[in-house]
Amino acid sequence: MTFSWLCAGLAKAEQLRNRGVVSYTFGPLIDWLRHGTIARLLGADALTESNSIQNATESNILAHHLSWILLGKKKYLQGHGTGSCYILELFLDFRFWGVFLVGILLGMCLFAFFPFGWEKCRDLFISVYDDQWLFIHAQGVCVESN
């Protein structure tokens, strides 16, 4: 999701909050509980995999609701979408406190894992960087030979 979609989602925040959604942050879990295998055994309807009116109205997935509101019914049903963003999901569910607290929690987790994985991360970064140079160099050689 790009910054422009995030801004557009924030502009439609009240409209997104008033759609009868329990939670966007925990939407996939809620949808699984309401429409998953066990729920279907108890008589619940399954949600479709693609863009549909059912997903736009019944699911707890921000990507469906945001696409429906911003792109309109026609484009949404043709398969176009905006995607989702955890920052927007947190903001819609918990306001700024949710974004702030989850940001702090993510930072703490990354900081905690940093000492354990620095050597491996550094080696992986160097390896990927070298591979990219190799591909760019090989592509340049192929272009020059033609």
Looking at the predicted structure, is the pLDDT value of residue 123 above 90? Answer: no
Q: Which is more confidently placed, 144 or 35?
A: 35
3-state helix, strand, coil in the chain (%, to 5): 75, 0, 25
Determine if the pTM surpasses 0.85.
Answer: no
Q: How far apart are CA 1 and CA 58, in angstroms?
A: 22
Looking at the predicted structure, is the pLDDT value of residue 139 above 60? Answer: no
Say how many residues make up the chain. Answer: 146
Tens of pLDDT, residue by residue over 92-109, are 999 999 999 999 998 888
pLDDT of 33: 92
Q: How far apart are CA 45 and CA 15, in angstroms?
A: 25
Reduce the DSSP state of residue 25 to 3 states and report it: coil
First-to-final CA distance of the chain: 38
CA distances from 141 to 106, 133, 135 (A): 43, 12, 10
DSSP conformational letter for 49: S
Q: What are phi and psi of 26, to 5 degrees?
A: -105, 20
Q: How far apart are CA 17 and CA 133, in angstroms?
A: 46
Mean pLDDT confidence for 38-64: 91
DSSP conformational letter for 12: T
